[in-house]
Amino acid sequence: MVTRTPLMAGNWKMNFDHLQSIAFVQKLAWTLKDGKHDFGAVEVAVFPPFTDLRSVQTLVDADKLKIAYGGQDLSPHESGAYTGDISGRFLSALGCRYVLVGHSERRTLHGETDEICRDKVAAAARSGLVPVLCVGETSEDLEAHGAAAVPVSQLRAALEGNDAVTELVIAYEPVWAIGSGEAATPEQAQTVCRALRETLAELRGDDMAGDTRLLYGGSVKASNVVGFMREPDIDGALIGGASLKIDEFSAIVRYRQHVGS
């Protein structure tokens, strides 16, 4: 029996300063409370900028909110002369449960290679964080190799030699779907998520493959999330733009009410 708890995660990217983050999380908590959201049935997480994390932690702790949070990146190193880097240890000290690794914006704009992502996955695990490994193909990759080849090779590269990593989340985010308004179809996303799960089974066995949550990301909104969630290998979503709008994000989190289950 599959017991993967769906995860709806908002990646705020470089949006919201610490004051805006407090206002947003407060509103989110009220909206979900009003809607009697069952956090045990659908987990909710946000990925604020680093400078917001302390504020989010204070609010979550004070009001005992069940909203999880994490960093958008971490250093592959523990500490030392790495100006501008943030250690996984600092994130776990702020109560982070998750950390994004290898988002396509970091791969493209900051030159993060598969090797760097592998080191970051290892650093996350060492710090007790659950890495949310982002994988996905560009439109050129899609044309040249089909949809699954690049995400599968990115997953293989991230896990190579990383035997200590026993828990992770994988976010399949086709680069062409991010911020474009043009989401993959649920069938396309399912095909790639299936391939990722099969790869995980081959690398780490059926138990870990069966327990690992796979998210879809790329132009997810309230009006299309249900289609993704109906697919057997999609266990949630990583949401960018729509996670900054309270009505959209809370409707996504409460997607079950739209299907009456």
Ligand X SMILES: O=C(CO)COP(=O)(O)O
- Judged by the rule CB under 6 A, the positions of this chain that interact with ligand X are 11, 103, 173, 178-179, 217-220, 238-242
Other C-beta atoms within 10 Å of 12: how many? 20
Residue among 204 and 213 whose Cβ is closer to ligand X? 213
CA distances to 71, 147, 210 from 200, rounded to whole Å, are 24, 17, 9
Residue among 193 and 204 whose Cβ is closer to ligand X? 193
Residue 4 CA to residue 234 CA, distance in Å, equals 10
Residue among 204 and 250 whose Cβ is closer to ligand X? 250
Query: Which member of 37, 103, 105, 231 is catalytic?
Result: 103
Q: Is 179 annotated as a binding residue?
A: yes
Residue among 186 and 241 whose Cβ is closer to ligand X? 241
The least CB distance from residue 147 to ligand X, in Å, is 17
Complete DSSP assignment for 192-203: HHHHHHHHHHHH
Structure tokens at 259: 């299907």
Which is it for the CA torsion 213, 142, 104, 65, positive or negative? negative
Residues 6+ apart with CB under 8 A from 111: none
The least CB distance from residue 141 to ligand X, in Å, is 16
Place of tokens 């790869």: 199
Q: Is 181 annotated as a binding residue?
A: no
Residue whose C-alpha is closest to residue 154's, from 195, 186, 126, 188? 195
Q: Which residue is nearest to ligand X (CB)?
A: 240
Query: Which member of 43, 112, 173, 248 is catalytic?
Result: 173
Q: Is 205 annotated as a binding residue?
A: no
The least CB distance from residue 120 to ligand X, in Å, is 16
The least CB distance from residue 69 to ligand X, in Å, is 14
Residue 101 CA to residue 155 CA, distance in Å, equals 11
Active site annotation includes 202:
no
Which is it for the CA torsion 227, 229, 233, 236, positive or negative? positive
Residue 245, Ramachandran bin (φ over 0: left; ψ between -120 and 50: alpha; else beta):
beta
Active site annotation includes 103:
yes
Residue among 204 and 238 whose Cβ is closer to ligand X? 238
The least CB distance from residue 207 to ligand X, in Å, is 27
Q: Could you tell me which residues are annotated as the binding site for substrate?
A: 11-13, 179, 219, 240-241
Catalytic residues: 103, 173
Q: Could you tell me which residues are annotated as the binding site?
A: 11-13, 179, 219, 240-241
